[in-house]
Amino acid sequence: MSRKKVLLAGESWVSTATHIKGFDQFPTVTYHTGADELLAALKDGPFDVTFMPAHEAQRNFPQTMEMLSAYDAVVLSDLGANTLLLHPDTWVHSKPTPNRLRLLRDYVGNGGGLLMFGGYYSFQGINGGARYHKTPVEDVLPVTCLPVDDRVEVPEGYAPVVVGPQSHPILKG
């Protein structure tokens, strides 16, 4: 059986903190990934997953249809639109680069798979910062992104209940 190639972009972040101990203080920086459990679960399955952390996606996310079409599906997880719009050549050097949101829309139009899930920088995200509202990616999502912060925080936990037909394969088992 041929394994499906999947690009997982996002799911990483850097945290900074200042520790204040009386008069003294010092900063720390930590790097985190949120994909470890997902990658472990998919490791021996039918998917060959390439993990591209957010800081790498800014530069290395595919810039051509040929490069993107090497994957059967793309997963965007906790990765804001600006990461794909503002390649370092554009952000730092003011050079034109391809609009990777348009490229993703066209990739889906050509039969490529797209899944978006994640956290504070998916869909519209915290404080509206993910910014997928009115982008080409929104055109191919099965939802409309709100123009504002779209989160619903549920600190007490949530147990979803399927209320409609349960014939979709994702609901089996």
**Distance separating alpha carbons of residues 86 and 83, to the nearest angstrom:** 6
The stretch 125-140 carries a mean pLDDT of 96
At 1 the pLDDT is 65
pLDDT of 139 over the 80 cut = yes
Give the max Cα distance, the chain: 63
Q: Give the span between the Cα atoms of 7 and 63, in whole angstroms.
A: 13
DSSP symbol at 122: S
Q: Is the confidence at residue 81, as pLDDT, over 90?
A: yes
For residue 156 the two structure tokens come to: 């007490």
Per-residue model confidence as pLDDT tens digits over 108-129: 999 999 999 878 999 999 999 9
| Other residues' Cβ atoms within 10 Å of the Cβ of residue 141 | 17
The closest alpha carbon to 77, from 44, 42, 111, 110, belongs to: 42
Q: Rounded distance, CA 43 to CA 50, Å?
A: 11
Given a cut of 80, whether residue 166 has pLDDT beyond it is no
* Token pair 């399927």: residue: 162
Predicted TM-score of the model (pTM)? 0.88
